[in-house]
Structure 1
Amino acid sequence: MPLFSIYAPDYTDDEAIQRRLVVRQAHLDAAAKNPAIKVGGAMLSPNEALDTPDAEKKMIGSFMVIECPTYEDAKKMIESDVYWTGNVWDKEKTVIRPFVTPRPL
């Protein structure tokens, strides 16, 4: 079955992180039950925060690799996510692309 990479940056307005936090548990609960998600998680900023243990790690979006029969199925899955419907992910900047890897997921 085809794989798709999902790059879903959050909106950047002042209320964006609050919208994410309000629906975060619902997003995590649904993701934990979804066998189509092969890997996923939050993107952090700034990148330097990863090298500095005490630096604030701010969630700025999500990245996933999902397995779906078609692009349309992948798109429907993303557009039904509470981060999409709750205006966390920036709908204009979210990217869904076919993904291949030589390693099994």
Structure 2
Amino acid sequence: MPYFAVYAPDYTDDGALERRLKVREEHLANAHKEPRLKVGGAILSPNEALDTPDAEKKMAGSLMIFEANSYAEVKALIESDVYWTGNVWDKEKTVIRPWVSPKPL
């Protein structure tokens, strides 16, 4: 089965982080049950001093790798996610691409 990389940045309006946090537990619970999701996590905003362990880290989007039969299958998974339906992920900037790696997941 092929792999797909998904880059899903969050909207950047003032309420974006609040919307993310409101549905985060539901999003994580569903993600843990999804066998096609091989790896995923939050992208942090580039404004943090990531070399400083105590720096505040603000979530700014998601990065995921899926193993699925088709682009359409991954698109349906993304569009049914509460981050999509809850207007957390920026629908115009979300990208799904085929992905290959020399190292198996």
TM range (shorter): over 0.9
| Aligned residues with identical type, % of pairs | 70
Shift of 1:48: 4.3
CA distance in 1 between partners of 2:96 and 2:11 (Å): 17
CA distance in 2 between partners of 1:68 and 1:47 (Å): 34
CA distance in 1 between partners of 2:46 and 2:21 (Å): 19
CA distance in 2 between partners of 1:101 and 1:93 (Å): 24
Q: How does 1:11-30 map to 2 (within 5 A)?
A: 11-30=11-30
The count of aligned residue pairs is: 105
CA deviation string 1:57-99 (max 9, x = no partner): 0000000000110000010000000000000000000000000
Q: RMSD of aligned C-alpha atoms?
A: 0.9
Shift of 1:46: 2.6
Give 4+ residue runs of structure 1 displaced > 6 Å after superposition: none
Q: How does 1:16-95 map to 2 (within 5 A)?
A: 16-46=16-46, 48-95=48-95
Compared with structure 1, are the counterparts of its residues 67 and 47 closer, same or farther at alpha carbon in structure 2 (3 Å cutoff)? Answer: farther
Structure 2, gaps ≥5 residues long:
none
Shift of 1:18: 0.3
Contact 1:6–1:94 (Cα < 8 Å) also in 2: yes
CA distance in 1 between partners of 2:51 and 2:83 (Å): 28
